[in-house]
Every structure is written in structure tokens, then in C-alpha cells.
Amino acid sequence: MFLRAISFVCVVQAFFLSAACMLVSSSDGTKIYANAVGNPSNPGMVIIHGLMLSGTVFDDVVNDVRLTSLFYLVTYDMRGHGQSDKPSSAADYTSRLFADDFAAVSKAFGLKSPVVVGWSYGGTVFSDIFTNLPAGSVSGLVGIAALPYTGMTSLGVNTPTSLAYLTGVFIDDDVPTYINSKVAFVDSLFNNPQNVPAETKWEWLGTAVTQLPSVTTFLLNRPQDPSALYAAGALGLPLLLMAGTNDKVVLNDVIINATASHFTKVQVRRIQGGSHSLFYDNKDECILWLITFMVTIRQS
């Protein structure tokens, strides 16, 4: 069976607003943890997290009344991450399966052609969707410091900071180096990590540590083809690219220059002083541009 939501379901309803979390079975039986907030009759927005993290990084955003009053917000943990299953072979991380995960979550929450927001590695799901799912599966894309496909790393998108700790996250025989690398990774996501509440940093770090080095390798090395995504862009698929000028993880100009030319309807918003985690350090500006983009799509 292609999809089915299984037993773990929690629902809280208050007037028009609802919040629900569930485990959804994808096409291969992998369980995908997903969460939804807002009015299901509102336009849908699916927000996908970055590498080694989970949908919990968006908790403050998806519970912001400026968004919940207008949209139905869905987050999910990609396979290999967070509360979702973490399969143990490269064959479990194909483009087809990532697309199936998205389709399973969309169906479970009754989403019809949502806007998809991808942060960092989460943007790679864009290529999975357009390579494997029917036309009309999404109505627009938002990339927040986002890679549209895994192969873009070959263009030199990493900063010296992220290159310095990346090798350590793949080490499985040196615990201190592994932990220190993941601490450096989490710190690099913020403008001022020393000012981030301890509970937030520990939650993000704890999530990152639960991903084994082998799974991180599968995720970064999985083959993808962006040609279908770029073809949709040439035909008018709306795209918003947001980037912080103080990003310590990726070189956003490299990503923007390699991506924007493939889209006829593209907006680029550079947030001065913005970090890699724009939705955290620059929440108000991030929400403003999300709302503006969604309104533009609805009016077109």
C-alpha cells in the first residue's frame, strides 16, 4: 500500500485551529514523522528541515499566529532524521523514495499542491518531487539557503567554516572528534550561538547526534537529477530564494547564481546580517517574505 497513517496520532483542536502529529508510512514502509498546525482549509505550506536536524527546528515559526492564521503548515522529518525511520542502506535513500515520502505526508494531511519551503539540505527534495511526482504536486518553492539538488556541492557551496567540521561528522571511530564536529555544526547555524537558549541548542545537537555517520553519507551521496525541476522553472514555477549575508555554512551567491537562471518567475531576497538559520535569527523578515510570496502565488 502506497500510503497509510499508522497508530501514533495526536490531535488537539481549538476553534478553527488544529495541531496534529502522526507517523506516516511511505511506499517502502519507512515511517515518516510529520506535524501540522493551522486551519486545514487554508493554503498548504510544507516546510522541510536541513541535514542532520528535524522539523522541530521550525517550532517557533509554525506556531506564529501570522502564519497559522493564513496557512496550513506541515513539517516532517526526512527519512534518516529525527523521529522518522533511519534505514541502513544506500538503496533506502533514492530520489524516488524521498518523493514518495513527500507524497505520503501530503496525502495524510489532505494537501493539494502546497508551496514547499526547503531549508539548506531540505531544498534537495525539490528535485525529488519534480523528477518523480505528477505535474501540479506543488504550486511554488521557497529555498532558504537551500541546495536544490545534492550535486550542487561540487560547485563549492561550502564556506571554510563548514568545510572545517564536515569531515568530522563522518567519523565513526573517534567519539570526541565526532561530537565536537556536531557541536561546531550547530554553532555555525546561528549568528550568536552563545546567546541561543541552551534547551534550543541541546535539542538541535541531540537530533544531529542521533544520525549515524553512515546515514549522513547516504544522504549527501544520493544521486539526483535537477533537469525536471529546472524545466518546471522555465515554464513558470514560482521560486523565492532567501539568503542571509552572514551565513557561515553555505555561499549563497554560488547557489543563487546556479539556480535563479533556470526560473522565469524568481524572487531573491538577501537579508542583511542574516544567518544560515534565517527563520530563527531573522524570523520577522523570513515570515514577511513567506507571506508576501504566498499572496503573490494566490493572486497569479
Residue 144 lies in a domain: yes
Kindly state the average pLDDT of the residues 270-292: 98
In percent, the amount of the chain with pLDDT more than 70 equals: 94
For the cut 50, the answer to whether the pLDDT of residue 241 exceeds it is: yes
Which pLDDT tens digit goes with each residue over 183-210? 999 999 999 999 999 999 999 999 999 9
Reference 225, options 97, 108, 124, 91; nearest CA is 124
Mean pLDDT of the chain: 94
CATH code: domain of residue 255: 3.40.50.1820
Residue 9 lies in a domain: no
For the cut 50, the answer to whether the pLDDT of residue 54 exceeds it is: yes
Domain span holding position 280:
39-299
Residues 6+ apart with CB under 8 A from 70: 42, 43, 291, 294
252: its cell numbers: 549563497
pLDDT for position 3: 32
Q: Is the pTM of this model over 0.85?
A: yes
Residue 13 lies in a domain: no
Beta pairing partners, 250 = 158
Residue 27 lies in a domain: no
Residue 17 lies in a domain: no
Residues 6+ apart with CB under 8 A from 104: 2, 3, 24, 25, 26, 27, 32
Kindly state the average pLDDT of the residues 247-265: 98
For the cut 60, the answer to whether the pLDDT of residue 242 exceeds it is: yes
- Extract the runs of DSSP E, i.e. beta strands, from 167-293: 239-244, 266-271
d(CA 27, CA 154): 30
For 216, list phi and psi in degrees, rounded to 5: -60, -40
Residue 5 lies in a domain: no
What is the residue whose three cell numbers read 497559522? Answer: 68
Cα R_g (the chain), whole angstroms: 18
Which pLDDT tens digit goes with each residue over 98-141? 999 999 999 999 999 999 999 999 999 999 999 999 999 999 99
Q: What share of the chain is helix, strand, coil (3-state, %, to 5)?
A: 45, 20, 35
Reference 250, options 148, 124, 120, 143; nearest CA is 120
Q: Report the number of distinct structural domains present in the chain.
A: 1
Residue 21 lies in a domain: no
